[in-house]
Amino acid sequence: MKVRFSREALSDLDEILSYIVARNPVAASELAAKIDEMTRLIGHYPRLGKKTKRPEFRSVTLGNYLIVYKIHQDEVLIRYVRHGARKRVWEEA
């Protein structure tokens, strides 16, 4: 299944990777590769993630980060990539 990132998810990624690259470029590169690998896996197995409080969203944990997505008929839309300690807007009513 095709995987697409929302603007918000791309902004999340940019913020995360910019923060990490300034402190540890190797760690940033490794995290980017792991996120890429996980999103490919989600494309192959869209129901891999667990349901959140809002059933239209699923999430997978990758270290300290959460990848939150919605499954559509022909694609998976990555909505958020957030540190686990941050506010989880996808769980708000």
* Domains identified in the chain and CATH numbers: 2-87 (3.30.2310.20)
Beta bridge partners, 59, equal 50, 68
CA distances from 78 to 22, 26, 69 (A): 25, 24, 4
Q: What pLDDT is recorded for position 89?
A: 75
Q: What pLDDT is recorded for position 23?
A: 97
Q: What pLDDT is recorded for position 93?
A: 57
**Count of other CB atoms within 10 angstroms of residue 34:** 13
pLDDT one-digit tens code per residue, 61-88: 999 999 999 999 999 999 999 998 887 7
pLDDT one-digit tens code per residue, 16-62: 999 999 999 999 999 999 999 999 999 999 999 999 999 899 999 99
